[in-house]
Amino acid sequence: MTTNTKKSTAAAATEEPAATGLTKTATITVIGPPLRAGQDPEKVRFAHHLRVGGKEVRPGEEAYVSPDYARQLRGSGYIARTRGKA
């Protein structure tokens, strides 16, 4: 006796947003390098003027970037410091 464990495409589509923590209606534009498999975008606030992929961001603006790119920008001083939760 064999058991079919294949998911239908409808079931897979409904499970995907829960896995990423995003709803299906939310669309997030990631600037800079694309996300790698399994990564969630990180929302950052810029401390300096910067041009990323043809889009200009000004100090104080927020955008979503990949975690790797956020780490690189943080090391270069382009991301504003955030306050810890009190």
pLDDT tens digit string along 44-58? 999 999 999 889 999
Q: Which of 78, 75, 77 is closest to 31 using CA atoms?
A: 78
Indicate if the pLDDT at residue 25 is higher than 80: no
Q: Which residues pair with 43 in a beta bridge?
A: 64
24-37 as b/e: b if 16+ CB within 10 A: eeeeeebbbeebee
Per-residue confidence band for 20, with pLDDT thresholds at 50, 70 and 90: very low
Indicate if the pLDDT at residue 6 is higher than 90: no
Q: Which of 56, 53, 81, 85 is closest to 69 using CA atoms?
A: 53
| pLDDT mean across residues, the chain | 79
Question: What is the rounded distance in angstroms from the CA atom of residue 75 to the CA atom of residue 11?
Answer: 41
pLDDT of residue 14: 43
Per-residue confidence band for 86, with pLDDT thresholds at 50, 70 and 90: low
